Structures are given as C-alpha cells and as structure tokens.
Amino acid sequence: MEPLFQFFNNLFPFISDWPEWLAHTVVGVVTVLLLFGFVALFALFAIWLERKISAHMQDRLGPMEVGGWHGWAQPIADAIKLLVKEDIIPAMADRTLFKLAPVIVFTAALAGFAVLPWSQDFIPADLNVGLLYILSVSSFAVIGLLMGGWASNNKWSLYGAMRAASQMISYEIPVALALLAVIMNAGTMSMRHLVIAQSGNILDWNVFNFFPLTAVAFFIYFVASLAEVNRTPFDLPEGESELVGGFHTEYSSMRFAFFFLGEYANMYIVSAIATTVFLGGWLAPFEALNFIPGPIWFVGKAMTLVFIQMWLRWTLPRLRVDQLMYTCWKVLTPFSFAIILLIGLWKVL
Amino acid sequence: MKKSNIPESQFELQVPESLKTEEMTISMGPQHPSTHGVLQVILKTDGEIINSAKPQIGYLHRCFEKHAENITWHQVIPFTDRLDYIASMNNNLGYVIGIERMMNLEVNERAEHLRVVVSELNRIASHLIALGTYGLDIGAFTPFLYVFRDREKILDLFEEISGARLLYNYIWVGGVAYDAPEGWREKVLEFCDYFEPKIKEYNDILTYNKIFIERTANVGVIPAEVGISYGVSGPSLRGSGVNFDLRKDDPYSIYDRFDFNVVVGKGEMGTVGDTWDRYWVRVDEMVESVKIIRQALENLPEGDAKETVPRNIKVPAGEYYMRTETPRGELGFYIISDGSKMPNRVKVRSPAFCNLSVLQAIAPGVMIADLVAIIGSLDIVLGEVDR
Amino acid sequence: MRQYFKNIYEAIATILVGMGVTWRHLFTRAVTVQYPHVKRELPERSRMQLFVEMDDCIGCMACQRACPVDCIDIKTVRAGKEEDLGETSNGQKKRLHVVQFNIDMGKCCYCSDCVFPCPTGAIRMTPEYEFTTYDRSSLLFKFATYTPEQISELQERERKEKEAQAAARAAKLKAAEEAKKAAAKNDETKSE
Amino acid sequence: MTAQEIYNSIQEKFPDTIVEFNDSVLQPYIKLTPDQFNEVCQFLRDTDTLGFDALMNLSGVDYGEELGTVYHLYSMQHRHKIVLKVNVPREHAEIPTVADLWRTADWHEREVFDLYGINFINHPDMRRILLPDDWEGYPLRKDYVQPEEYNGITIAHPDMKGNSDEEK
C-alpha cells in the first residue's frame, strides 16, 4: 500500500496530517470505489464498444437510438433494465449457492484490479508477488462458475459448469508458463518492477526481448487468456448454440448482470496483465511521447488488446471440447515449455 | 439372397465396461437455439458423448394435408408456400407442375423461363440461410449477417416480381401470377454479378477457416447407402457422394436445357459424406444456380407469361406423384384427384422430414457440439418436417 | 509431426484471413435501413394491405370464394327494379347493394388470390404496410358505406319483396293446383 | 425396366399376391395383397435387375370403403420407378412393415399410422409421430370429425368463426 499512499500524499498533502488509521482507511475506501467505478464504467463502455464493433463488422449499425449519438446510452438503459427485471430463481435450485455464484465471479474479477499498475505511482497494492496474486485470485472465478452451474439444477448449466472448470483449470498452465518466461528474465513478480524493467523505448519491451521467443510467449499468453475468460473461440462454457446459455442459463436480472460485469472485467484484467508483462505497462513507446500520462498509455494498450479479443470473437467459430483440450495440452503447453527452455539456454550462454 | 439390413447405427460407441457411467437424459428443444425451430431431440448422453438421439417432431403440425382436401386446387398454392417457408417458390413449382402434368397443360416459354429463374434465386436464398445458420451453429456469428445481407437482395427482387418477400404464391397452374416487370431481368443479372464475388468472402471467413474445418470434417458421416435407405435427398445426399439431382435425373420444367454441374461431396477435408461436404455442396450449388439463372435469362423469350393461366381448374381424375428438387432435396407431391374442384388427397413427401430421420442413425457416438453441427448440416425446416 | 506444424500454421493463417475480412467490413458502409426514420419505397406490386374500391364492387363474391382462409365476408341486397346503382369504372352495371364488405386483415394470408378473380378490379393489394394496432379487432376493415339503418331498410325491403314473390309464387302454385283439381274433377265428372 | 417387365418378374415369383396391374395411367401401379407384402418388397429391393433401393414416398389414402397405402419406389442404379398399392379394410387395417427394408419407411409408416390408423405389423416403434400421443381418432380419414376439445383445450379458436358484423 505504500506507493499508493505516497501517490495520494502527493495529490493531497493534507492527508499526512491525519492519523495513520484514518488516512489508510480513507485512501483504501477511495481506491476501492475508484476501481469499482472504473470496472462498471469500463463494462458499460466495453459492451457498447462490442456491440458497435460487431455491428460494423457485420455491415450493420448497431444501437443507434438511445441517447442520440450512436446509441451511447444503450448499455446504461440495458443496465437499468437488468436492475429492475424480475429476479427468477428456479424452484429446485440450491438457493444459497445460486445467489453466491455471481458474487464470487465478480469479486474475483474485482480483486484482480488490486495489483494493476496504472502508472509509476498509482498502484493500489504493490505486492512483491503481484503476478502470482493476480493469477491465483482470478482462478477463483472458476469456483463461481461451477457453483452457478451446479446450483441452477439444469442439465445445460451443469454442462457449462463442467466445461468451464476443465477449461479454466487447463488453461491456467499455459498462461502461467508463458508469464514465467518473462519472470525468469526480469527476476521479479512485482507488477511495478516488471514495468520499470522495461523502461526505454518500444524495443525494450518484453515482447521484443529475446526476439522472437517472448513474442511467441506473448501470443501463447494471449490465446490462453482468451480461454481463461471464456471468449470466442473458447466460449464453450456459454456456447449458446449448444448449451443454450451454459452456466448462466437460469440467471436473470442483476445476477446475470454480475456475470456479465465479471466477464468484461476479466477481459480487461487479462489484457492489463499482458500490457504490464509484455507491452511495457504505462510506458510510452518512444521518449518523445512521454508527455502523455502513463494511465492513458496503460488503458490504451489494454483497450487495444480488448479490441482484438472482440475482433476475434466476431470472426471465429467455436472449438469443440476435445479440440479445446488438444489446443491446450498439445500445442500451447509444449510450446511454452520450449520457450522457457530456450530462454534459459539463451541466458546461460 | 437376403442382404443384411442396415443396422440402427454404424458407429458403435466403444467404451470399456468399467468406464461406463450413468446415462443422462436431456431434452434438447423444442426451445433450443440450434434446433432450427421447434424440434425436440431426446438425448441420452454419457458425459459429452451422445449414446442415442431421438428426434421428436410435430410441434409445428398445421394439417396441410387435411386443409388441402377441403379447398380448391388453386387455393392450395398459398398453403404450399408455408411448408418450406424458406424456399416457397420451389414448393409452388412442385405442386403446380404435378397438377399441370395431370391436366396435360402446356405452359408458355416465357413463364417456364421465369419459373426457373425464380426457383434458382430461391435456391440461392435458401442455401444462404443454410450457410449462415450453420455458421451460427458452429459459433461464428458474422457470416450469418453477411448471408442475410445478400439474401435481402434476392427478396427485393422477389418483391418486385411477385409482391411478397417470403410467401410468394407466384407460380400458378399454367404459368406465373405476374409477368416480370420492366428492368427486372437486368436487376437479376446485376445481382448475379454482385453475388459471385461474395462467395469468396464466405469461403474466407467460414468455409476454409481451420476451426470450422476441424469442427465439421469427419463429423456426422452419412455413408451413401445409409443415406439412400433413409431417404435422404438433395444436397445432404449429394454430400455423401451420390450423383443424384432431380433436375438432371428426372427433369421437370425446362431444366434439361441448361448446362450445369451436379455438385457432389468429395471428402476434400475429411471423409466423404461428412458435414463439411454437405456444407460445401450447398456453397458450390449456389455457383451452379447462378449459372442456370444466367442461361435462363439469356434465352428469356418475349411475350406474356400470364396468358395460359386458367380461371377455374378441374383436374381430371387420376393420381400423380410429382417430385422436384428443392434446396432441401426431393419434394414430392402425391396428388389424387377425383375430377372435382378439390383435391382428394395431397400427400407431401417432404425432404426435411426424411433428412431428419437419418439423425438417429448418425448421432450415436458424437459429442453434443457435433450433434448441433449435424442438425445444422441437414438443413431442416420444421415447417416442412411437420407440415 | 509435419501435420502438427501444418495444422498450427493453417489455423493461424486462416484465422488471419478471416480477421482480414471482418477488418475490411469494419470500414464498409452498413446496409441497415433506419426504419422509422428512413422508409424504403416499396414496389407497386407489394402485397400488403387489402383495399376495396367500393364504387367498383358489384358484389359478385368471387373474392370471397377465392380466399383460402375465409377472411372476406360480403353481404349483398338486390337492388330494386327502378333503382340505378350506377356503373363501375370498367362499365359493368351494378345490380346489388353491397351492404357489408369486411376484410379481417388479422386472418389474411396475403396471397392475393382474391385480386385476380375480381371482374372489375375493385379489390387490390396496396403497398401500405403500417397498419399494426394494439387491438386485434381493429384489424377488421369494413369497406361498405351503408349505415345500419339503411341496411335494415334494404334488408326489410328485400324480405318484403321476397315475401311478395313467395306469396305470388304460392298463389300461382295454388292456382295451378286448383286448376289441376278442377281439371281432375272435370275428368271425374266426365267419366261418370 | 418398364412397368410391364417389373410386373412380370413379380408375377413369376409371387403369382398369388397381385390384385391388379394398371399400365394405362400416368404412373403405372401394381396392387398387391397385404399377406406377402414384405417379401415382395424384399424381392424388389434385392434383385439385381430390379434394384429398388429407394422408397421415394409412402402415403396413406382413404378410398372410402377401404384404406390403402401407396409406395413409390425408385431405383438409384437403374433409374426406374414403380408404384405399389396395398388396400386393407377399414376395420382391420394391418399391413406388414417395410421399415426393415427402407429405413425411411420407419417415420413414414408412423405418420400413416398417426393420420390414418393403419397398423404396420412388425414395425419397431409404432407410435404417433405428428400428433400428441393421447390424440383420439385419425384425422386424415374422410369420416373424421374434429373433436370439441383436447385435454380441456377448446380446439375451435374463437376467431375461426366468420367476421360479419353481427357476430363481432
């Protein structure tokens, strides 16, 4: 919490006059609210963006009415609609688990934001094992999905949950291995220091390190992270043409919205990790562009990756379960092992 | 001399006895995103693998055959529109030619050419939907909207010539309901020029996509003899490598005058008769349809297409089984007349009905996701299955 | 092993080709028509709402017979002998009061079978398509212009005429019968 | 092969089963008795010169006094067709199945059973196919009367009445 405290201290010097407990509480609460606000805003924006991108990729216009300019208020209207809709819980569902599941999914997504380095100074918690933390916290989501699918007492939901569990657990491995390739070189797992190690210009970013080895690692990470957040072509847990709606078949109103929020927050988190680890975090690609503040670079890079995720989603069909496992265990995992091995060799030589 | 009859399934699931677990029975449909309507399939699954799939139909039964016995010959035509509502022109054509053959009625040349043009346009429109929804079943959303964009152009042409966009009631006994309006021929040619390059686009985004191929090749193989035994017809049978197209093999209207190829599945990406082959036959058939349209429009004679339409039809007593090639396969109308102004019996042999029946034979042993791919590749329209 | 790498290469290459297609479409013009703001001109043949030109209708019921779903309901009253209802636009003489011409567009199947048998071209389908309502009963379009009083008056007259006719016929019949009887009587008397 | 030749070959093998042969109509047909029907069909399918490997259509017909089924056969190799007819009395409508010969007959026979009430002997799964399992009567028979209600649901929709002024 120290860098965050400093950051607030710089902004509002009077905080240092407060007693320590008060200052810490206030800073903590404000940060959480900021992040929560960001997640909600980002989700709304991303939903709008996704609808617009998909529409234009399909020669459509997408939402055009609500709010005037290109239907910018459509996601807000949708959110309000979801809020006021009737909350339906199936009669035979396990009510406690059913209610808990979306909360867990969303919490897991939100917790990941704690270690994202937005800029040199603004990082809610600069853990020395930040990367490890984010990986472990984000895999909490699978418990939520499993609970939701099980508790719905619907066979399609159960299928979705089972698929989600096997998929997310499998894809943890290539994700972790791909990141390991970088950590080996950087020698740190602190998100902040990972970025600081990449200072310089664009060629100092990790993705161009040991060219092309880390580039391949970046690619592996990106593909595996798509599976981590259940995006096409790996959206089997939802798979609306096969499993109706997968694990969230029975969810409606705000509980469904939480799953939705969680999905979009996760999209952002995996993109942000990729940005931090491979694409130089808040750093500008060239010295000349340093006048643009760090957070803008950070969010901009992450949003580019989010855009690519959407782009892929509206281009590709869905894989089958066995092909999904094949991709993970027979393609991504061996390749990431090979990269770790090669980088190790490179470093030794 | 007794040959072995074809077993229920050719694909026995081989799981060691010790690994077998309890079966799960799932009702897929009647409300399910990829059963293409109100089809219900009762699945018995072992995990993701299907042990048996039994289609349950009848949710869209509208008593076409009973209706037809209580209305006049001509009034049946709007009802045939509603059988296979995606290819109404072809349905009209089948029924009408059946009656014309019973009445021994000549149709003038211009009407014959217009019939071929609209039928082939409708075939393209129908195959476009098959393509798009198939992409949707596999999980690709975008091609669906591309094909609807192009289908819309065909519907615009239909609206101009017949006044309706979906249920045309255009082909009438003795001719067609309206002559083509001025400039329609040029518009169709324009559409052909526009459409041909679009097929490459579909191929780029869907047909040759590796994920798509992986999902569809070697899945749901229908061997030729199984297909014939189950009465599978049309693109679904041709996908199994059987060169059988009623436009060539039992020609009706003026199809024998045109030069076009019968597309058959060759197993390009996997086995002959897999879902990819059935899909590919449809893509290639659109190219052939464009060829036919061009030829028909080239030779389109001048004159009035409407002139032979009689006011009141009385069909001489007798019976006839007329079969035509619709986008889904062999559409048969078995018409019995007792010489009065109403049909005595109109039986529809609907291609989708027979194509769907093969599902129970090829489904065992595939995964749930594959079942969706198989149903999509059979290109059923429930309006026709249930009639 | 070669197949393995070939598969990976193919997967990446075809995915990139597909992404190229969607990327190009991101910048092509959308084909959407913003419906309530922009309205497409429909071709004149468009079969949307049915319309009846009552001045041309001669009440022959050909359309009612042709309708496969029975959505047209016509009632007519015969015109009086000295009454002149005028002529239709193609010169046919009108002999019937069309006191009721109801079309239930909720039932209509838009096949336009009713349009063709019409001898005067009175009934036709128009490209007008915006007639949705919140109430199904307002899809029942009534084209006849007669008021209920006029109808009952006409029907009354027809009934009376019919009665008169029936009475006349009965009288005629009776007369014939009586004549027959008389003749029979005559015969009887003759034979006696 | 012409219809005459097909008739001759059946005549040779199963002389007792043929009721009628009509070559003068648009599509010549052979009328058979139900007794040996399955064997005749097996013969038609499996003889190399006949080779009727496809059942195009199977249709039930109500002739008034009798019910009947009509089979339209086609040979994919020889490209010839033939129509078979089997008539059975209304009260005792039973025909041997051909579902074991042409799998497509499976559903078609169920449909005929559903709509005409003809029972197919040895059919593997003789259930209704289009109508609900508990539907009463066979709707395509000419003497079928539409029931008032089904499981408490009125069948005649109120809108199915006329639309004249008095009724609305």
Q: Output the pLDDT for position B2.
A: 39
Confidence of residue C189 (pLDDT cuts 50, 70, 90): low
Longest alpha-carbon distance in chain D: 68
Does B370 contact chain A (CB < 8 Å)? yes
Contact B139 A232 (CB under 8 A): yes
C18: nearest CA in chain B? Answer: B205
Question: What confidence score (pLDDT) does residue D159 get?
Answer: 60
Return the C-alpha torsion angle A307, A312, A314, A320, nearest 10: -140
Instruction: Verify cis geometry, omega within 30 degrees of 0, for the bond prior to B251.
Output: no
**Residue of A40, A199, A196 whose CA lies nearest to A126:** A196
Confidence band for A231, pLDDT divided at 50, 70 and 90? confident
Per residue in B192-235, pLDDT (tens digit) is: 999 888 888 888 888 888 888 888 888 888 888 888 888 888 88
Residue D61 with chain B: CB contacts under 8 Å: 336, 345, 347
**Which tens digit of pLDDT belongs to each residue from A235-248?**
888 877 788 777 88
Residue for token pair 């699978």: A142
Please state which CATH class domain B77-386 belongs to: mainly alpha
Domains of chain C: which residue ranges?
1-31, 49-148
Helix, strand, coil tally for chain D in percent (to 5): 20, 25, 50
Average pLDDT, chain B: 84
β-bridge partners, C97: C77
Indicate the range of A33-47, A146-160, B373-387, C176-190 predicted with least confidence.
C176-190
Q: What is the DSSP letter of A283?
A: -
| Mean of pLDDT values over C87-97 | 76
Residue A7 belongs to some domain of the structure: no
pLDDT at B1 exceeding the cut of 50: no
Residue A58: C-alpha distances to residues A65, A66, B200, B218 (Å) = 18, 20, 16, 30
Query: Which residues, in sequence order, are CB contacts of B236 under 8 Å at separation 6+?
Result: B222, B227, B278, B328, B329, B355, B358, B377, B378, B379
What was the pLDDT predicted at A262? Answer: 84
Determine the Cα–Cα distance for residues A140 and A125; give it in Å rounded to an integer: 19
The C-alpha of B219 sits at a distance from chain A's nearest C-alpha, in angstroms, of 12
* pLDDT of B5 strictly over 50: no
Per-residue pLDDT, B308: 66
pLDDT in tens, B98-137: 888 888 888 888 888 888 899 999 999 999 998 889 988 8
**Higher-pLDDT residue of A330, C188:** A330
> What pLDDT is stored for residue B6 in this prediction?
42
Facing residue for D139 by CB, picked from B63, B244, B336: B63
Structure tokens at D162: 């006329």
pLDDT at C190 over 80: no
Q: What is the structure's pLDDT at D162?
A: 52
Instruction: Answer yes or no: is pLDDT of B10 > 50.
Output: no
Residue in chain B lying closest to C69 (CA):
B75
Whether C15 and B209 lie within 8 Å, measured CB to CB: yes
Distance from CA of C4 to the nearest CA of B (A): 13
For residues A156 and A244, the answer to whether their CB atoms sit within 8 Å is yes
- Contact D70/D58 with Cβ under 8 angstroms? yes
Residue B7: the pLDDT is: 42
Question: Residue B368 is encoded by which pair of tokens?
Answer: 């749930």
Secondary structure class of D31 (helix, strand, coil): strand
Between residues C111 and A19, which one has the greater pLDDT? C111
* Percent of chain B's residues with pLDDT above 70: 94
C-beta of residue B207 within 8 angstroms of C-beta of residue B279: yes
Q: Which ranges of chain B does DSSP label H, i.e. alpha helix? A: 64-68, 76-81, 88-103, 109-138, 142-162, 184-202, 210-216, 224-229, 235-238, 246-249, 275-298, 351-357, 359-362, 368-378, 382-386
CA dihedral sign, ordered A116, A117, A122, A124: positive
Verify whether the Cβ–Cβ distance D26 to B6 is below 8 Å: no
Tell me which chain A residue has its CA closest to the CA of residue B372.
A242
pLDDT for the residue numbered A110: 84
> Quick one: pLDDT at residue B15?
54
Structure confidence at residue C73 (pLDDT) = 84
The C-alpha R_g of chain D, in whole angstroms, comes to: 19
CB A260 within 8 A of CB A106: no
Contact list, C13 vs chain B (CB under 8 Å):
210
From the number of C-beta atoms within 10 Å of its C-beta (0-12, 13-18, 19+), residue B285 rates as: buried
The span from the first CA to the last CA of chain A, in angstroms, equals 39
The C-alpha atoms of residue A324 and residue A334 are separated, in whole angstroms, by 15
Q: Would you tell me which CATH number, out of the four given (3.40.50.300, 3.30.70.3270, 1.10.10.10, 3.30.420.40), belongs to the domain C49-148? A: 3.30.70.3270
What CA–CA distance (Å, rounded) separates D162 from B48?
Answer: 53
For residue B261, the SS3 value is coil
Whether the per-residue pLDDT at A41 is higher than 60: the answer is yes
Q: Is the pLDDT of residue C103 over 80?
A: yes
Alpha helices by DSSP H, chain C: 2-26, 62-66, 148-191
pLDDT at residue B307, as a whole number: 62
Cis, bond preceding A212 (omega within 30 deg of 0): yes
Residues of chain C with pLDDT > 90, as a percent, come to 0
Of the candidates B357, B232, B28, the residue with the CA atom closest to the CA atom of residue D124: B357
- pLDDT, mean of residues C20-37: 86
Residue A344 parent element (H or E): helix A333-348
Our CA-based measurement puts residue C127 at a distance from the nearest CA of chain D, in whole angstroms, of: 24
Could you give the percent of chain D with pLDDT greater than 70?
93
Q: How far apart are CA B75 and CA B80, in angstroms?
A: 9
CATH of D3-132, one of 3.40.47.10, 3.90.1150.50, 3.30.460.80, 3.40.190.10: 3.30.460.80
Give the ipTM of the model, two decimals please.
Answer: 0.84
pLDDT at position B12 over 70: no
Alpha helices in A88-129 (DSSP H): 95-112
Round to whole Å and give the CA distance between A185 and A172: 21
Q: Decide if pLDDT at B17 tops 80.
A: no
Is residue B178 within a helix (H) or strand (E), and if so which, with residue range? none
Measure B379 CA to nearest chain A CA, in Å.
15
What whole-number distance in Å separates Cα of residue B314 and Cα of residue B321? 18
* Residue from the list A155, A235, A241 with its beta carbon closest to the beta carbon of B24: A155
pLDDT, averaged across chain D: 82
Band (pLDDT 50/70/90 cuts) for residue A2 is: low
Range with the lowest mean pLDDT among A195-199, A268-272, A320-324, C49-53?
A195-199
Using H for helix, E for strand and C for coil, what is the string for B282-343? HHHHHHHHHHHHHHHHHCCCCCCCCCCCCCCCCCCCEEEEEEEEECCEEEEEEEEECCCCCC
Using CA atoms, how far residue D111 sits from A298, A346, C176, D91, in Å, is 65, 73, 61, 19
Looking at the complex, does the CB of residue C104 fall below 8 Å from at least one CB of chain D? yes
Cα D126 → chain centroid: 14
- What average pLDDT does range D56-60 have in this prediction? 88
- Structure token digits, residue B179: 């002559």
Give CA–CA dist D108/D95, Å, rounded.
13
Up-side HSE of residue D149: CA atoms within 13 Å toward CB? 5
Tell me if residue A102 falls in helix, strand or coil: helix
- In this predicted structure, the answer to whether residue A151 has a pLDDT above a threshold of 60 is yes
H helix runs in C28-115, sequence order? 62-66
- Contacting partners of chain D (3+ CB pairs under 8 A): B, C
On the question of pLDDT at A297 being above 50, the answer is yes
Inter-chain contact D72–B321, Cβ cutoff 8 Å? yes
Which one of A156, A242, A315 has the shortest CB-CB distance to B34?
Answer: A242
**Token representation of residue B81:** 């529109």
Nearest CB partner across the interface for B209, out of C14, C66, C109: C14
* pLDDT number for residue D161: 54
* pLDDT above 50 (res B9): no
pLDDT for res B214: 85
Burial of residue A81 (number of CB atoms within 10 Å: 0-12, 13-18, 19+) = exposed
Residue of D nearest to B349 (CA): D57
Q: Provide the pLDDT for residue C31.
A: 86
Cα three-residue angle B14-B20-B22, rounded to 5 degrees:
130
Tokens of A209: 């390190």
Q: pLDDT tens digits for A267-288? A: 888 898 888 888 887 887 777 7
Q: Using one digit for the tens of pLDDT, what is the confidence trace for B19-70?
A: 667 788 888 878 888 888 888 888 888 878 888 888 888 888 888 888 888 8
On whether the CB atoms of residues D135 and D128 are closer than 8 A, the answer is yes
For chain D, the structural domain boundaries read 3-132
Q: Is A172 a domain residue?
A: yes
Task: Determine which of B85-94, B318-327, C56-65 has the lowest per-residue pLDDT on average.
Answer: C56-65
Interface residues of chain B, partner chain D, Cβ below 8 Å: 1-3, 5-6, 57-58, 61, 63, 65-66, 69, 101-102, 225-226, 228-231, 242, 244, 249, 318-321, 323, 330, 332, 334, 336, 345, 347, 349, 353-354, 357-358, 361, 386-387
Identify which has the larger pLDDT, A291 or B276: B276
Q: What is the pLDDT of residue B13?
A: 46
Residue B16: its pLDDT value, please? 59
d(CA B159, CA C129): 14
Whether the predicted pLDDT of A218 surpasses 60: yes
Angle at B276 between CA B274 and CA B282, to 5 degrees: 115
Identity at A224, one-letter amino acid code? A
Two structure tokens written together for B228: 């014939």
Separation between Cα atoms, residue B183 and residue A146, nearest integer Å:
61
Q: What is the mean pLDDT of residues A119-147?
A: 82
Decide if C15 and A312 are in contact by the 8 Å CB cutoff.
Answer: yes
How far apart are the C-alpha atoms of B69 and D81, rounded to whole Å?
27
- Count of beta carbons in the 10 Å neighbourhood of residue A337: 15
Secondary structure element (H or E) that encloses residue D2, with its range = none
